[in-house]
Amino acid sequence: MKLKQQINKTIQQAFDKANINENAMSVSEATKPEFGDYQFNGAMALAKKLGKNPRHIAEMIVENLDLTGILAKAEIAGPGFINLWINPLWIAKQCQIALNDERLGVNKKENPVKVVVDYSGPNMAKQMHVGHLRSTIIGDTLANLLEFLGDEVIRQNHIGDWGTQFGMLIAYLEETGEDGSVCLRDLEQFYKDAKKRFDEDENFANKAREYVVKIQSGDMHCLNLWQKFIDISLGHCEDVYSKLCVKLTRDDVKAESFYNEDLPQVIEDLIKQNLLKESDGAQCVFLEGEEIPVIVQKGDGGYLYATTDLAALRYRANVLGAKRISYVVDARQAGHFKQVFKVAKESGFVPEDVRLEHVAFGMMMDKSGRPFKTRDGGTVKLVDLLDEAVVRAKDTIKEKEGYSEEEVERLAKVIGIGAVKYADLAINRESNYIFNWDKMLSFEGNTSLYMQYAYARIQSIFRKHHGEIKGEIIIGDDLEKRLAVMLLRFEDMLEQAAENAAPNHITAYLYELATLFMRFYERNPILKEGVDEATKMSRLQLADLAAKTIKQGLDILGIEVVDKL
Ligand code: ARG
């Protein structure tokens, strides 16, 4: 349900009736219960424009406002705010409709578009580390969200599988014998060992350099070794994806090497557009207002990260047909994306109407605000971190009795992985993120555990209730009404989250919703003796809708729920 749009329509009707020939601006959610449910703040700007008194304008609007449908009450406040109260009967009916709908009343977009979400993008030379965690989690959520709203989402995993370091790795893979896969079990170590050989042994280093040339010129033997390396390396990433319950598959991989063939053409087309200039032997694009040019070809003929991204951009816009391309990548690459987006538009590689966005995120820090590292200063491997999350989650539920070992395992996974993901998604993505086990595994506060607990609590009500659920939702008191309005805001919130590529809108909403539900449930018992049948039925249904909304929200975040906690 597009709640705001519905209210805006009612206001527009009042404008029309009052002969105000303007478009009514949007209402906003009231910040305090005493301001009603929504607020219209447009009277002031309008008064200025029309040269009239704002309170007078507000009065004109209120006088013509239909208070027999969606709205029940309107009150002028301050210099000309209009506080609006929604009609409880209307709310009850809409909640009922949402409950009977498997999409909970959320419409699919009328004009869906093709969206490419570029996320995860690990580098094959190394084991995935915590730095890739944020991209993977935020990107997957964004993809889920857009998909749920009806867009056609194409996930793209732009893995780094090309570059001079592969010569070294392949030389080492060959040297370690037939079954390199054994050594590759620990990629980090493998990389270090190969680097050591490279630095220490001139013969090895020369061989590595030869391999670079050979791979690039398509030597089959080398390419096979390279492919083997990539396969194993990607397999490691896929273990992480599966632990994380993210939806990336091998089909979503479009590696850097995929664009190799197009790179000479990229250069040629930039030349045709008169965009290239030679500088210190390198081919560069100088952009207006930018000090540093975009280098697209080095003096030795080699291509760069930016060249590949230009090729990827035009592939995505022209071959895949994307109208929105979202790059979920570390904020430190902001300069890179700003520049390649500009070049892509200026060169016509990407049509003007395609929306290009860098969905930037901050770094992951430890409790003391330093970049996240292992105790001995190394990078924390993602697999280790996720395994630790599960172990810690087990500790949290250990005291609970009546669980089989199997159940504990499953629960620990759902809770532990959920906690890591939720904590990451719940902050403004552009801020640096402080990783804190105790906070993320708490039952209190804006955590996945709190959400999972609220969900399970509602399920326990349904386990205790026997018999059919019938009758209507009736909005009894104010708290019940706030809960219901919150439930109806689901679609508006999702739309905002999608527009801003901001998963923390979802977590903030879920937190508010779960908190409201808990308060509602404390005050308004459902199954207690003395609650009349109609009230009980109504509250059961509201609880059901709350649980379903929490579950759907968490599902978009890629977090599971359990019926018992
Ligand atoms: N492999 C890159 C890195 O680890 C991320 C790739 C992001 N995607 C892109 N199209 N550049 O920094």
- 543 in a domain, yes or no? no
- Mark whether 306 and 198 lie in a shared domain: no
- Mark whether 333 and 258 lie in a shared domain: yes
Per the CB < 8 A criterion, the answer to whether 120 and 248 are in contact is: yes
Q: Which amino acid is at 257?
A: S
**Ligand 1 midpoint to CA 156 (Å):** 11
- Could you say which of 247, 282, 315 is where a domain stops? 247
User: How far is 243 from 237, CA to CA, in rounded Å?
Assistant: 10
Q: Which amino acid is at 61?
A: I
Q: How many domains does the chain have?
A: 3
Per the CB < 8 A criterion, the answer to whether 3 and 491 are in contact is: yes
Q: Which amino acid is at 467?
A: G
- Mark whether 9 and 70 lie in a shared domain: yes
What single DSSP character describes residue 402?
Answer: S
The reported pLDDT for the residue numbered 225 is 87
- Mark whether 143 and 271 lie in a shared domain: yes
- Could you say which of 364, 381, 410 is where a domain stops? 364
User: How far is 22 from 16, CA to CA, in rounded Å?
Assistant: 8
What is the domain-level CATH number for residue 67? 3.30.1360.70
Parallel, antiparallel, or unpaired for β 364-365 and 433-434? Answer: parallel
Which atom of ligand 1 has the smallest separation from the CA of 131?
A: 4
User: How far is 154 from 254, CA to CA, in rounded Å?
Assistant: 11
- Mark whether 264 and 290 lie in a shared domain: yes
The reported pLDDT for the residue numbered 175 is 86
**Ligand 1 midpoint to CA 487 (Å):** 38
Both tokens of residue 387? Answer: 């395994």
User: How far is 97 from 1, CA to CA, in rounded Å?
Assistant: 9
What single DSSP character describes residue 429?
Answer: T
Closest CA to 513 of 462, 450, 563, 439: 450
pTM listed for this prediction: 0.94
**HSE-up of residue 284 (Cα within 13 Å, Cβ side):** 15
The reported pLDDT for the residue numbered 366 is 86
- 73 in a domain, yes or no? yes
Sort 526 into a burial class: Cβ within 10 Å, 0-12 / 13-18 / 19+: buried
User: How far is 43 from 543, CA to CA, in rounded Å?
Assistant: 38
For ligand 1, residues with CB inside 6 Å are 118, 121, 123, 158, 160, 309, 312, 327, 329
- Could you say which of 209, 232, 247 is where a domain stops? 247
What is the domain-level CATH number for residue 306? 3.40.50.620
Nearest protein Cα to ligand 1, atom 6: 121
Q: Which residue range forms the structural domain that includes residue 176? A: 165-247
Exposure pattern of 220-253 as b/e (b: 16+ CB <10 Å)? eebbebbeebbebbbebbeebbebbebebeeebb
pLDDT (tens digit, 0 to 9) for every residue of the chain, 565 residues total?
A: 999 999 999 999 999 999 998 888 789 999 998 999 999 999 888 888 888 899 999 999 999 999 999 999 999 999 899 999 999 999 999 999 999 999 999 999 999 999 999 999 999 877 777 778 999 999 999 999 999 999 999 999 999 999 888 999 989 988 887 555 666 667 778 888 899 999 999 999 999 999 988 988 889 999 998 998 899 889 989 999 999 999 999 999 999 999 999 999 999 999 999 999 999 999 999 999 888 999 999 998 889 999 999 999 999 999 999 999 999 999 999 999 999 999 999 999 999 999 999 999 999 888 888 888 877 777 787 888 899 999 999 988 877 777 888 889 999 999 999 999 999 999 999 999 888 999 999 989 999 999 999 999 999 999 999 888 899 999 988 999 999 999 999 999 999 999 999 999 999 999 999 999 999 999 888 888 888 999 999 999 999 999 999 999 999 999 999 998 8
User: How far is 421 from 440, CA to CA, in rounded Å?
Assistant: 9
Parallel, antiparallel, or unpaired for β 282-285 and 276-279? Answer: antiparallel
- 98 in a domain, yes or no? no
User: How far is 418 from 202, CA to CA, in rounded Å?
Assistant: 48
Nearest protein Cα to ligand 1, atom 11: 309
- Mark whether 223 and 184 lie in a shared domain: yes
**Ligand 1 midpoint to CA 224 (Å):** 24
The reported pLDDT for the residue numbered 178 is 53
**Ligand 1 midpoint to CA 120 (Å):** 8
The reported pLDDT for the residue numbered 196 is 94
Mutate to test the pocket of ligand 1, among 129, 134, 158 (most ligand atoms within 8 A of CB): 158
- Mark whether 213 and 323 lie in a shared domain: no
- 32 in a domain, yes or no? yes
Q: Order the strands of the 276-279 sheet from edge to edge.
A: 276-279, 282-285, 294-297
The reported pLDDT for the residue numbered 181 is 60
Q: What is 190-256 written as a DSSP string?
A: HHHHHHHHHHH-HHHHHHHHHHHHHHHTT-HHHHHHHHHHHHHHHHHHHHHHHHHT----GGGB--G
- 428 in a domain, yes or no? no
**Ligand 1 midpoint to CA 255 (Å):** 10
**Ligand 1 midpoint to CA 311 (Å):** 14
- Mark whether 343 and 260 lie in a shared domain: yes
- 512 in a domain, yes or no? no
- 465 in a domain, yes or no? no
Q: What is 442-489 written as a DSSP string?
A: -SSSSSHHHHHHHHHHHHHHHHH--S---S-----SHHHHHHHHHHHT
- Mark whether 195 and 155 lie in a shared domain: no
- Mark whether 24 and 60 lie in a shared domain: yes
The reported pLDDT for the residue numbered 560 is 97
- Mark whether 221 and 274 lie in a shared domain: no
Which atom of ligand 1 has the smallest separation from the CA of 309?
A: 10
Per the CB < 8 A criterion, the answer to whether 79 and 70 are in contact is: no
The reported pLDDT for the residue numbered 126 is 76
- 409 in a domain, yes or no? no
Which atom of ligand 1 has the smallest separation from the CA of 312?
A: 10
- Mark whether 141 and 208 lie in a shared domain: no
